[in-house]
Chain A
Amino acid sequence: AQSVAQPEDQVNVAEGNPLTVKCTYSVSGNPYLFWYVQYPNRGLQFLLKYITGDNLVKGSYGFEAEFNKSQTSFHLKKPSALVSDSALYFCAVRDRDTGRRALTFGSGTRLQVQP
């Protein structure tokens, strides 16, 4: 079975400050990991993914995420938050060893960036 936990319902950060949105995962094999963002009244948009190789992955809009196998984590980060980053963020996992096609998503974390 594959699962994702996003322990924070909401993260508040001031504009210009660094931000972190936390994600931990559970798979029986090795993971493919993804981050998506959802703006109001829109579908989810792909931000970045970890497949293999470098543990630090860079994605769209200045976001990056760090894969930590020992802690089974894949936290999303950005050095300097913008008000326009305010949205709902979803972490997702696929177990690469099961051949299952679909992603399993977390419950989402709402990021609020204050001016």
Chain B
Amino acid sequence: ETGVTQTPRHLVMGMTNKKSLKCEQHLGHNAMYWYKQSAKKPLELMFVYSLEERVENNSVPSRFSPECPNSSHLFLHLHTLQPEDSALYLCASSQESGVNSPLHFGNGTRLTVT
């Protein structure tokens, strides 16, 4: 069983809705990530948080807004999304002190924008 839990597993939302994705890690890690996975495309890094501070933001549209209230929790707030934002959103965590430590992923949230 993964040490990274994502909720909800599935989400369908209209373009005018506001929703949030939640990620919680139980591994004692201090870095957390959001990735977007679309079919037949490389995983796209969206945001990186280290010690609760955002350290990378890869030109993600402002309709995606991350929040990291503590080292165990990460949120992705969504508003006025587009159909092309439909994808699997993956949360991951790692131990910051080990630069080559592997990422641990959650099972993802399958988002459909209608």
Residues of A within 8 A of B (CB): 4, 9, 32, 34, 36, 41-46, 49, 51, 90, 94, 96, 99-108
Contact = CB atoms under 8 A, between A and B. Distances in A.
A101 B102 contact: no
A78 B16 CA distance: 48
Contacts of B50: 101
B2 A102 contact: no
Given A101-B31, A102-B48, A46 B42 contact: no
B66 interface: no
A95 to B, nearest CB: 11
A43 B42 contact: no
Contact of B42 (A4, A34, A36, A51): A4
B99 A102 contact: no
B108 A43 contact: yes
Which 10 pairs between the two chains have the least Cβ-Cβ distance? Answer: A43-B105, A46-B102, A105-B43, A44-B105, A107-B42, A43-B107, A32-B100, A102-B45, A51-B100, A43-B106
A101 B107 contact: no
A100 to B, nearest CB: 8
Nearest to A51: B100
22 contacts: A36-B103, A36-B105, A42-B108, A43-B4, A43-B90, A43-B107, A44-B92, A46-B104, A49-B100, A90-B43, A94-B100, A99-B99, A100-B56, A101-B56, A102-B48, A103-B103, A104-B42, A104-B45, A105-B42, A105-B43, A107-B40, A107-B42
A42 B107 contact: yes
A108 B40 CA distance: 7
Nearest to A32: B100
A107 B102 contact: no
B42 A96 contact: no
Given A43-B2, A43-B4, A43-B90, A101 B103 contact: no
Contacts of B99: 32, 94, 96, 99, 101
